[in-house]
Structure 1
């Protein structure tokens, strides 16, 4: 295997390991994330009346920001589910007694 290819694969594997580390950290601290999410539920204060006109632009920007974050979270969740399906499929295919499938470059 050439040194360039080895370096490229090492970098790819390192990136995958870092992603796995990040996911493990999130899973280890899932209860903190859930607690934080519960604290983030916005309840408007009672009796404050309608939004003042001078705050309208700020409120519109905040709504757009929240919509953008919701979209990003949806994308992240979908990606996570896709990765989980891939891992489960790989485990099932590799559970026939042999080693799990691996990438094999057949180019010369």
Structure 2
């Protein structure tokens, strides 16, 4: 099985630039060992189970919560049985149909 999650955790009331806070969450994700791709608008994470991915997101939330009393979280989840490695495979599938590579963030 594969669980892909696009997540954006944004502290509210912390000013215009929040990259220092985002970096704390990305550090938790990176240390988890799960495959992920950081994008300008959020992070895509892939895990083998719902619980595995949600535990990483919980830890990221708890890290952010230490300094941020208000947090906006946006998530989009794609659960699929029988597949893994979908962060790269989904992009490769589109490129194959186009017959060429397109600009994308490298996972």
Question: TM-score with structure 2 length normalisation?
Answer: 0.25
Greater fraction of residues in strand: 2
Q: Choose 1 or 2 for highest CA Rg.
A: 1
Question: TM-score with structure 1 length normalisation?
Answer: 0.25
Greater fraction of residues in helix: 1
- Structure with greater contact order relative to length (CA < 8 Å, sep ≥ 6): 2
